[in-house]
Amino acid sequence: MDIVFIKQLEVITTIGVYEWEKSLQQKLYFDLEMAFDNRPAALNDDINLALNYFSVSEVVNQFAQKHQFELIETMAERVAALIMEQFSVPWIKLTLHKPGALPKAQSLGVQIERGAR
């Protein structure tokens, strides 16, 4: 199976457990690796047969802007499920970064894998 990826997709959302976090917008970064058979698209040079990077990024961005969660774990699970369902992706590896959340760390985050290659 081929892997289609998007690295460091920046979204702005409201996320956090603490009350002060619930009143502001924060940056999150998504790294997405998605299993997809690229052969039909490549053979026909047809975007309609490909996993459209732009469409995936727009869906993730819109979802993150529309939904508010306390945990990045929840955001990761919901985005992974959304991509798998909406784009018929059989496997996804999603890494979600929350930069600046810890004073002495560049970023913190979670990484999940769902589905089967």
Looking at the annotation, which residues are catalytic? Answer: 98
**Please, are residues 107 and 99 in contact by the beta-carbon 8 Å criterion?**
yes
**Please, are residues 13 and 28 in contact by the beta-carbon 8 Å criterion?**
yes
**Please, are residues 34 and 113 in contact by the beta-carbon 8 Å criterion?**
no
Distance (Å, whole) CA 76 – CA 66: 14
